[in-house]
Chains A and B, each alone.
Chain A
Amino acid sequence: MSEAPSARERPMVELREIQLQFGEKKILRGIDLSVAPRERLVVMGQSGGGKSTLLRLILGILPPSAGSVWFRGREINRMSRARLDLMRMRIGMVYQYSALISSLTVEENLALPLEELTRKTRDEIDKIVDEKLDLVGLLDTKPQLPSELSGGMRKRVGLARALVMDPELILFDEPSAGLDPVTSSIVDELIIRLTEETDTTSIIVTHEMDSAFRIATRMAMLYEGQIIAEDTPAHFENSDNPVVRQFVKGETEGPIGDDQKEK
């Protein structure tokens, strides 16, 4: 078993030489990435480039073809099923399309992990649900079904659900995708405020540049299955890397377009 990082410099999450392959298709080709506590790391990259897959690797839902994923100094892929479930309780995940359970009301969606995974009383659960819904400004949606909410509201409820277990790490899969600019900004501000207030670490996967620069304390660019750049937002904005520059500025001419033309 490989050696765990030392406690002094222990990152919250660490990916070491991660490779992922589906059949002949190589999705990730040797990813090394670490996330420090209280950081908001934004991972950018093209659609279908394996960004969301990174989040699934961290949750242990997908095993890597090679390499290892570490959470708080423990290797995820070597965890027993019971330990993996305990680790997942410390991680919140906000899905691109919310993934709220459609047959349950907003209130029941939020209460579900608390009822199933903790021994809290009904009153305590109700209090937490109210508190988290209040944080995202949707207290009055409690009796509604997810299908009765707008996309932005669903996303905020998804965020509230990710917060109910007071996680140490929150993973966001395209938090701004499909939202109008105002709602997108509201969601971004919520992410910043909530992660700062609760000292939570977060990994945000997105290809929305405005949103990425608003949220990030650090950024990483995923391109052709590899992390080709990793820096602060300020450095990213003025990057010399042609791929990063093209992606950030949204230009049509450059290495990314050339690749797609060749394909």
Chain B
Amino acid sequence: MVWLLTGTLQEIIIRLARGRAPFRLTIFFEHAARAGVGSVPLVAMVSLFLGLTMALLTGYQLQPYGTERLVPPLIAIAFTRELGPLLTGIMLAARIGAAYTAELGTMTVAEEVEAIEAMGLGPLRFLVAPRLLAVFLLMPCLAIVSDAAAIFGAAVISKTSLGISMLYFKDLALEGLLVQDILAGVVKSLLFGLIIGVIACYKGLAVQGGADEVGDATTSSVVVAITTVIATDTLFNIVQLQLTAT
């Protein structure tokens, strides 16, 4: 996978040295629209329902002690720092990672990737770079959509079940949130985007065989990407907590 990143960078540098753009902006926008805009409904819906459920359950637990005012900051922090990027990462690994692997895998099997290389076009900068950049840049945007949807869901439950008005919810949430929570979420999202893109493209380009192997590679891409995203998240939290403690 390191080979994929260094190879892509090398091809981009060769292109730039010739005074040409590494890839067409229209292709990047197409991928960005598919990975980003196309994923908004899924990410928003799942996050909204999760926000509703979390507010409902935590409210139910905290209400007997009269501490239901902790629900807004709890949901806000949990999603901006942890669940927003993580959920988005898992959903994008399944939705976009699978699509990238299947597309590139089919192209590899049909010798299309080799033909692109044989023409001197540079398959990595032509096929991989716009996909990688799209998922890398769009991940933080989608994580913010996830945060917003979940917090909105929690606000609705807080108003209807816990007697916390929307305005009071906002004040309580902002009181508990720190800039570093939001920053940590954005950094994580960028990292997850890179992981999903690299794994998906690598798995697609490494396919050898036929339709069965494309299917296997797609499954493997999703499984490996989701596992790596969760493992990286854990590692990120450990490192961040260590750094905060010192």
**B-binding residues in A (CB < 8 A):** 56, 59, 61, 81-82, 84-89, 91, 93, 95, 97, 99-102, 112-113, 116-117, 165
Contacts and interface: CB of A to CB of B under 8 A. Distances in A.
Which of B18, B119, B122 counts the most chain A CB atoms within 10 A? Answer: B119
Contact of B111 (A88, A89, A95): A95
Q: Which of A84, A85, A102 has the most CB of B within 10 A?
A: A85
Contact of B117 (A61, A97, A101): A61
Given A85-B120, A112-B121, A101 B112 contact: yes
Interface string B111-148: 11011111111100010000000000000000000000
Given A88-B120, A112-B121, A116-B126, A81 B115 contact: no
Given A61-B114, A93-B115, A116 B121 contact: yes
Contact of B122 (A85, A97, A99): A85
A82 B17 contact: yes
Contacts of A61: 114, 117-118
B117 A86 contact: no
A82 B114 CA distance: 17
Contacts of B110: 97, 99, 102
A56 B117 CA distance: 11
Contacts of B10: 81
Report which residue of B107, B112, B117, B121 has the largest number of chain A beta carbons within 10 angstroms of its beta carbon.
Answer: B112
Contacts of A84: 120
A171 to B, nearest CB: 8
A115 to B, nearest CB: 8
Contacts of A59: 117-118
Contacts of A88: 117-120
Given A81-B10, A112-B119, A117-B121, 14 more contacts: A56-B114, A59-B118, A61-B114, A61-B118, A82-B17, A85-B14, A85-B122, A87-B120, A89-B120, A97-B110, A99-B110, A101-B115, A101-B116, A117-B120
A100 B121 contact: no
Contacts of B112: 99-102
Contacts of B114: 56, 61, 95, 99
Nearest to B14: A82
Interface in B82-117: 106-107, 110-112, 114-117
A93 B14 contact: no
Interface string B34-50: 00000000000000000
Contact of A93 (B106, B118, B122, B126): B118
Chain B, interface SS category: helix
16 contacts: A61-B117, A81-B11, A82-B17, A82-B18, A85-B122, A88-B118, A93-B119, A95-B114, A99-B112, A100-B112, A101-B112, A102-B112, A112-B121, A113-B120, A116-B126, A117-B121
Nearest to A158: B115
B115 A95 contact: yes
Contacts of B14: 81-82, 85
**Which of B11, B17, B115, B126 is most buried by chain A, counting CB atoms within 10 A of its CB?**
B115
A165 to B, nearest CB: 8
B26 to A, nearest CB: 11
B121 A113 contact: yes
Contacts of A87: 120
Nearest to A104: B112
Closest 5 CB pairs of A and B: A88-B120, A99-B115, A85-B120, A99-B111, A93-B118
A89 B122 CA distance: 11
A151 to B, nearest CB: 14
A112 B122 CA distance: 12
A82 B13 CA distance: 10
A152 B112 CA distance: 18
A100 B115 CA distance: 8
A89 B119 contact: yes
Interface string B1-44: 00000000011001001101000000000000000000000000
A41 B114 CA distance: 23
A81 B116 CA distance: 14
Chain A CB within 10 Å — which of B14, B118, B122, B126 has the most? B118
B212 to A, nearest CB: 18
